[in-house]
Chains A and B, each alone.
Chain A
Amino acid sequence: MAAPVSERDQLAYISNQAADARVNLEFESEGMTLNMGPQHPATHGTLRILAKLDGERVISCEPMPGYMHRGYEKLCEVRTYPQVTTLVNRIDWLGSFANEVPWILAAEKLMGIEAPPRAQHIRTILFELSRIGNIALFLGDLGIQLGGITVGFYAFRDREHVLNQVEAVTGGRFHPNFDRIGGLKDDLPKGWIAETKAAMVKVQKFCDQVEDLLIGNEIFQARTRGIGIIPPHVAESYGLSGANARGSGIDWDLRRDNCPPGLVYDKCDWTVWTHPDGDSFSRSWIRLQETREAAKIVDQLLDTIPSGAIMAKVPRIIKVPEGEAYVATENPLGEMGYYLVSKGDLNPFRVKIRSASFNNISIVPWLCKGVYVPDVISILASLYFILGDIDR
């Protein structure tokens, strides 16, 4: 008969087995599960990416959004129209004015109100300014994700000029809350046009700096050329929009092709940039060119602001008549649309927000099969999403 095993020995044996099991579990040769968890510098916020790795290659990759869901569509059902305008700022918080525009245009479509030309003009200017603010940060973030931190600082520094101009008009840097059904809340303060023109000069200089420091850099090109190639038919089937689609060669820009009434893009001279490659580099390059275009558009529009009223005649208490309307605009992140269903009340009956980033990251599992882990970072940086936009 064997000697009785003491409790202490038993516990030691069990813990040794457990330790071994833990080691074996982690290093099974079929792959390692890496959780690029909600807190991670590369995921622009609280996005969880569950990746199965084989060494450094990704076998499968699954983004798990939802950590930032705030229940926007339900919130909109219990808020009045001016209150919803305030809330809507916070979906894509980097280009906040851009979120208000399709919402207000949808409500105006249902009410049958058209904003006066001066308001439409200034609305477009602020829309493009928010585009510059958003994409300038993207360019900086691209550098930071890939290791060139200096570009990030330059981006924040030069974005300040745009934010200061937005603050001078609306009072808020990040959440302007300026668009109203029928026009804008207030008119431009004296001297704003000249200051904004100076700010656009600085933005152009920043774009040149980014081109010299990042886009033209051989290391950056080695990290992004040929990485994350999206063929055009795949881009269309996943519903990509904005610079991601144009990076694959799809020539589609809602500002030119399906511009809703209320924005004045047809009154200025600008180009739509596309790139046939479909890789991370092309998406980044297109965004740089879009920033330059936006600065050009703002410059042209600032010279031709018509005089007139800033607000149409709108009742004090806004009740949108019954009906449904869908308005989509070319937001900095892609196509953003609001499907507004109204039953004639003070509150909307249902608001469905079509956000660009949700569709943009739906391609990540398909795209990240078989790439290296650093390439996942480069792909995420170039697809560019904002968590508030994905999760709403």
Chain B
Amino acid sequence: MSVSPFGVLGSAPVLAGLDPPYWAATLIKVGVVAVLVPTTALILGIVFLFKVMSWMQSRLGPQEAGPKGLLQLLADGAKFIQKQDIIPDAADRFVFKVAPMVVLISTFLLYVIIPAGPSVVVESLDTGVFFALAMSSVSVIGILMAGWGSANKFALMSGIRAAGQLIAYELPMVLAVVGVVIQAGTMNLNGIIAAQADFKLFGVVPFPLFLLTQFPMFLVFLAAAQAELTQPPFDMPVAESELVGGYQVEYSGFRFLFFFMGEFATAFAFAALASVLFLGGWSLPFVASNSDLYTSTAFWLIGPAVLFTKIMLVSFLIFWFRFTYPRFREDQLQKVCWKYLIPTCLVWVSFTAIAKVVW
């Protein structure tokens, strides 16, 4: 049972030796998250949605806005913000307006517990993983609100599909994480990273990733994340060729921007979770968790950089599946979840529990 040595340090950001009052610290944290969410959405959008997708399709992607087209999303964002705010006549105005914000709030809350270094985290909760999974399910309400409030049959169908799908795929996600939590012995994300850094296979061979012992769970987590983001092959709610945008179909301008940002920022957050849980987060391979490197000031830059690299790797996987596969039908989607993913999880969790006791 390893208790995280970072549990003490990580409870408040150490701001160059200053110890700000509670209100100031809260404001700073809110500001950091508010800046981080659009930035990560931007990075992911440009790199994967524009560039990598284009390369996979033998083309170049946007080239004109900014050097090699890298500022295209900024231009898109500016375009969205200055558009007219159109609300359909028959729409339920309050529900329609609030829906994108609900989705975005769940994304903001996800960023609170992601650690970019031993003490670079907005709030290091002891129920880290549990909090993350709980907050990610808030977005379901937002999608349902959007689907209902749009007064559009296509949006309604999409909202109902989304409700079924997102609630169903919560389960494999939770179960996939249970194995990791059992192996690490804590739900605190920094603690899980420390456990990975110190992990020894069979008690003998040092192996710094949970990826090996939890490989099926990694795949299940990726699949569940894909489903939670309503991305192909699980994108029935936003099936472009049937529902033409699904629950987002009546949204334009900055409300659509919220949905878009929410989708990509959540993708980033899920990739971050996957890197932390399975790939070791900000820890470098074969460096023990009590090494001095982790508490040095240089690690303020190295830690986030390492995490960012791992996030990019996982995102590449997520988006690679997105661009290659056609989409499942809704009932096939549910079948995959209930008949294949959940039994796999249950079997592996029991195996992990036994292995934890033995070794």
A–B contact with Cβ pairs below 8 Å: the answer is yes
A150's contact among B57, B235, B331, by CB below 8 Å, is which?
B57
The residues in B between 310 and 359 inclusive whose CB is less than 8 angstroms from any CB of A are 323-332
Given A147-B241, A222-B332, is A154 in contact with B232 using a C-beta cutoff of 8 Å?
no
- Chain A residues with Cβ below 8 Å from B331 are 372
A374 CB contacts on chain B under 8 angstroms: 236, 239, 242, 329-330
Q: Is B30's beta carbon under 8 Å from chain A? A: no
Closest A residue to B329 by beta carbon equals A374
In the complex, whether A304 has a CB less than 8 A from a CB of chain B is: no
CB distance from A17 to the nearest CB of B (A): 15
- Any B CB within 8 A of the CB of A40: yes
Cβ-defined contact, B323 with A223, below 8 A: no
Q: Say whether B58 contacts A147, CB under 8 Å.
A: no
> Cβ of B24: which chain A residues have Cβ within 8 Å of it?
none
| Interface presence of A193 (CB below 8 A) | no
Residue A171 interfacial (CB < 8 Å): no
Contact B56 A223 (CB under 8 A): no
Interface string of B227-249 (1 = CB under 8 A from A): 00000110110011110100000
Stretch at the interface among A85-93, A211-219, A335-343, A359-367: A211-219
A143→B326 contact, CB < 8 A: yes
A377 proximal to B (CB < 8 A): yes
Q: Which of A131-180 contact B (CB under 8 A)?
A: 143-150, 153-154, 157
Closest CB in chain B relative to A144 CB, distance in Å: 6
* A153 engages B58 (CB within 8 Å): yes
Given A147-B326, A150-B57, A374-B329, A34 and B153 touching (CB < 8 A)?
Answer: yes
| Bound complex: CA A143 to CA B232 (Å) | 12
A346 interface hit (Cβ, 8 Å): no
In the complex, A200 Cα to B90 Cα: how many Å? Answer: 54
Question: In the complex, A148→B57 CA distance in Å?
Answer: 11
Proximity string of chain B (88-101) to chain A, C-beta cutoff 8 Å, 1 when within and 0 when not? 00100000000000
- The CA of A144 and the CA of B58, in the complex, are separated in Å by 16
Closest B residue, CB atoms, query A152: B57
Contact: A41 with B240, CB < 8 Å?
yes
Give, as a whole number of angstroms, the nearest-CB distance from A375 to chain B: 7
> Closest B-chain residue to A375, C-beta based?
B329
Q: Is the CB of A223 within 8 A of B326?
A: yes
A residues in contact with B59, CB < 8 Å: 153
Query: Cα distance A147–B240 when bound, in Å?
Result: 8
Could you say which residues of chain B place their CB within 8 Å of the CB of A214? Answer: 326
Q: Does A312 sit at the interface, judged by CB under 8 A?
A: no
A223 to B232, CA, bound (A): 14
Chain B residues whose CB sits within 8 angstroms of the CB of A222 once the complex forms: 328-329, 332
Asked if B325 contacts A42 (CB within 8 A), the reply is: no
CB–CB B326/A217 < 8 A: yes
Name the CB-closest residue of B to A213: B324
A222-B332, A372-B331 are known contacts. Are A148 and B324 too (CB-CB below 8 A)?
yes
| Given A26-B153, A153-B58, A147:B239 Cβ within 8 A | yes
B157 contacts chain A at the CB level, 8 A cutoff: yes
Residue among A157, A219, A375 making CB contact with B325, cutoff 8 Å: A219
A217–B323 alpha-carbon span in the complex (Å): 13
Considering the complex, which residues of chain A in the window 16-35 have a beta carbon less than 8 Å from any beta carbon of chain B?
A: 22, 26, 32, 34
A91 and B267 CA atoms in complex are apart in Å by: 45
Q: Is the C-beta of A220 less than 8 angstroms from some C-beta in chain B? A: yes
CA–CA, A26 and B241, complex, Å: 23
Docked Cα-Cα span, A190 to B157, in Å, equals 57
Q: Is the CB of A377 within 8 A of B242?
A: yes
Check if A32 sits within 8 Å of B153, measured CB to CB.
yes
The complex places the Cα of A113 from the Cα of B90 at a distance, in Å, of: 65
**Once the chains bind, are B58 and A154 in contact (CB under 8 Å)?**
yes
Contact between chains at B235 and A147 (CB < 8 Å): yes
B330 pairs with A372, CB closer than 8 A: yes
Cβ-based interface call for A56 (8 A): yes
Q: A26-B153, A150-B324, A153-B59 are in contact. Are A40 and B244 (CB under 8 A)?
A: yes
**Min CB–CB distance A379 → chain B (angstroms):** 12
- CA separation between A377 and B239, bound complex, in Å? 11
Could you say which residues of chain B place their CB within 8 Å of the CB of A223? 326-329, 332
Chain A CB within 10 Å, residue with most, of B236, B242, B327, B328: B242
A150 touches B56 (CB 8 A): yes
Q: Inside 8 A of B324's CB, which chain A residues have their CB?
A: 148, 150, 213
Q: How far is the CA of A32 from the CA of B232 in the complex (A)?
A: 27
A254 to chain B minimum Cβ distance, whole angstroms, is 32
In contact, A219 and B153 (Cβ under 8 angstroms): no
Q: In the bound complex, what is the Cα–Cα distance between A147 and B59 (angstroms)?
A: 19
Known: A150-B57, A219-B325. 18 other contacts (CB 8 A): A26-B153, A34-B153, A34-B154, A146-B241, A147-B241, A148-B326, A148-B327, A149-B323, A153-B57, A154-B57, A213-B324, A219-B233, A219-B326, A222-B328, A223-B328, A223-B332, A373-B157, A374-B236
Name 15 interchain pairs, CB-CB below 8 A, sorted by A.
A26-B153, A40-B244, A41-B240, A41-B244, A56-B161, A147-B326, A148-B325, A148-B326, A150-B56, A153-B59, A222-B328, A223-B328, A223-B332, A374-B242, A374-B330
